[in-house]
Amino acid sequence: MYRSPGWAALAALAALAGCGEGSAPEPVDPGGLPPFDEAACGLPRVTPDVTPRLAVTGVTNNAVVVDGEAVWVVHSGDNTVGRLDVSSGVFDRGFIDTGDGRNPWALASDGARLWISNYATSTVTVARRSDGAVLGEVAIEAVAPSGIVAAGGLVLVASSGFVGPEFGPSGVVVLRALEEAPWLEPLGFLPSPARNASSLTVDPARGRVYVVYTGARGFDPATGDVIVTSDGAVEVLDLAALQAGELDKAVLLHLPLRRDPSDPFSGGPRSLQLSADGRWGYLPSASSPAIYKLDLERLVWARDASDPIPGYVGAGNQLTALAMRGDGLAWVVAYNQDAAYLLDTSCDATVAGPFDLGETPLLEGALDIAWDEATQQGWVILSVSSALAQVRDSSR
């Protein structure tokens, strides 16, 4: 069972997973590979070298982003952003200080600046990428802002709508990036019938932005059973319409991800990762070991909750992350197991693993992964133990 570290910035994630705050770490769950057709999976396998504790991060690391020569780690509990220099391996834990009580959630870069969504204050911190200096903080019309992207001169912020203990109306805040204060010009808000906007992915080849809505779960107070209060969904936005300020033309499609009625933990997409050829979107689940697959040409589900890709063996409530590689493989990270697996997208099967990411038999909470294709290495944040792990290829 996923255990919330108990910080405000993870309240939405805890509500989604249905776990209480302040829970002590548990032993990691056992894992394993699901059955697969060996003959159908033809991509060369890799074996990772794992450094479990490359660096000690701030408290409750919540997101990791690789951006050229730097790896950025958002510390929701410390209200800071850390910077790892890829070439030297030096980690500056407090490179950016967002200020007390912000609970930063996610980070995006436009090359010169970093844009950081602040979950607790409904603001965006603007920082200079080169030295971490905070240039300003901008209030936005969002409730518990979560995912954030910068693209085409715009900054888009997911408004999760979490007001505790439930999710209210959700959507996307559209802002134009400015070269000087006030730094962001509001263009409007795109409401959605779905709940819990959690992440955004830019598809530059198609001029689109995909907004992932995780949906919401809770507990029946009388029975303790998991209750699904909102299904997940993906919304497809037209980037050109957003740039033109034509928000009434921006939403191209709202695509629900219906859950399996027999499994209360099914559904719950967490993010969308583009395949190496750009044809597919892979969406790990925030509540199960499943991975869903979206056909980006036809905009239909290729693998939905009725027929998901099994990422790994795991019972009950799970939390899954995914990072796509350039060779058609993908890293799948299991929070409850502190483990990584290797997904072969030529056959849509997990073909190797588990590879241990933690140092102890207690849950360290492998929450997110970022992969750098140029250097063939990845970084995993361990949210419970406040650590940054490194994954590198040792053989092909």
- Whether residue 3 lies inside any domain: the answer is no
CB atoms within 10 A of CB 70: 18
CATH of the domain at 206: 2.130.10.10
- Whether residue 2 lies inside any domain: the answer is no
Give the list of residues 6+ apart from residue 158 with CB closer than 8 angstroms, or none. 117, 142, 145, 146, 147, 148, 170, 172, 173, 197, 198, 199, 200, 211
Report yes or no: 276 and 345 within 8 Å, Cβ to Cβ.
yes
- Whether residue 217 lies inside any domain: the answer is yes
DSSP structure string for 323-350: EE-TTSEEEEEEGGGTEEEEEETTTTEE
Residue 229 vs residues 165, 226, 248: alpha-carbon distances, Å: 12, 9, 28
**At 93, is the pLDDT very low, low, confident or very high (cuts 50, 70, 90)?**
very high
Q: Into how many domains does the chain fold?
A: 1
Tell me which residue range forms the domain holding 234.
8-395
- Whether residue 162 lies inside any domain: the answer is yes
Q: Across the chain, what does the average pLDDT equal?
A: 91
Q: Tokens 């660096």 sit at which residue?
A: 55
- Whether residue 28 lies inside any domain: the answer is yes
Q: Tokens 């069972």 sit at which residue?
A: 1
Provide, rounded to the nearest whole percent, the portion of the chain with pLDDT above 70. Answer: 93
Write the single-letter amino acid at 69.
Answer: E
Q: In the chain, what are the helix, strand and coil shares in percent, each to the nearest 5?
A: 5, 50, 45
Give the list of residues 6+ apart from residue 295 with CB closer than 8 angstroms, or none. 279, 280, 301, 302
- Whether residue 334 lies inside any domain: the answer is yes
How confident is the model over 64-83, as a mean pLDDT?
Answer: 96
CA atoms within 13 A on the CB side of 45: 11
Instruction: Assess whether pLDDT exceeds 90 at residue 62.
Output: yes
Instruction: Assess whether pLDDT exceeds 90 at residue 18.
Output: no
Q: What is the pLDDT of residue 13?
A: 44
**Of residues 125 and 13, more confidently modeled:** 125
**At 24, is the pLDDT very low, low, confident or very high (cuts 50, 70, 90)?**
low
DSSP state of 285: B
- Whether residue 1 lies inside any domain: the answer is no
